[in-house]
């Protein structure tokens, strides 16, 4: 395979993450957390959608700017968690692995944002493949387990997740097998 090319499972992961990032919004904000329009009057959901469009077009600086604006006004909310996760994707694509991992972990800490577990698992698995650090393998396995449990819940999943559920489960199950001791 040529350097820089991706295999079908990698393309699936990238495509699934992009589609999920574009459509997922989870739960209410934590008690007392409020998310207001920015000083320019932009609503956080609109900024997230703009960021996702820019991310899909490969305009990473524009995506980053939109996510930063959401974080500035909604950091400790569900929208803030989504923005941190999506900013992690931007940072990963920009080659800043450490910052991407920190953003995924922030999204998880805010409200357990499910897609952040998927992205964290992917990033840690990639690092384990590269560096062979067992702690990365374990953490990747744990993150994929949480995401797999989310996918297997009997509760209603967002339609974009339901639509890709089987493909996502196949990807995550393969990752869990690869990362098993």
| DSSP code per residue over 36-90 | ---TT---HHHHHHHHHHHHHHT-HHHHHHHHHHHHHHHTTSHHHHHHHHHHHHH
Whole-prediction pTM: 0.78
Q: Which residues contact 167 (CB under 8 A, 6 or more apart)?
A: 12, 16
**pLDDT score recorded for residue 4:** 44
Mean pLDDT for the chain overall: 83
Q: List pLDDT tens digits, range 16-55.
A: 444 344 434 334 344 345 666 656 666 888 999 999 999 9
Biggest CA pair distance of the chain: 51
Topology of domain 8-179 in CATH is 1.25.40
**pLDDT score recorded for residue 37:** 62
**pLDDT score recorded for residue 28:** 37
Identify the segments of the chain with pLDDT beneath 50.
1-7, 11-32
**pLDDT score recorded for residue 84:** 97
**pLDDT score recorded for residue 38:** 58
**CA atoms of 41 and 60, how far apart (whole Å):** 23
């Amino acid at each position: 395979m040529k350097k820089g090319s991706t295999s079908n499972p990698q393309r699936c992961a990238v495509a699934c993450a992009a589609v999920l990032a574009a459509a997922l919004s989870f739960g209410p904000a934590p008690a007392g957390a409020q998310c207001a329009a920015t000083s320019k009057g932009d609503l956080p959901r609109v900024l997230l959608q703009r960021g996702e469009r820019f991310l899909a077009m490969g305009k990473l600086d524009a995506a980053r700017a939109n996510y930063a604006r959401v974080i500035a006004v909604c950091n400790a909310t569900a929208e803030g968690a989504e923005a941190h996760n999506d900013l992690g994707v931007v940072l990963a694509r920009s080659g800043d692995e450490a910052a991407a991992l920190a953003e995924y972990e922030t999204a998880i800490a805010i409200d357990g944002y499910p897609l952040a577990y998927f992205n964290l698992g992917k990033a840690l698995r990639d690092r384990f493949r590269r560096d062979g650090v067992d702690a990365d393998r374990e953490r990747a396995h744990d993150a994929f387990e949480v995401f797999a449990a989310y996918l297997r819940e009997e509760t209603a999943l967002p339609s974009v997740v339901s639509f890709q559920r089987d493909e996502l489960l196949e990807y995550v199950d393969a990752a869990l097998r690869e990362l098993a001791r």
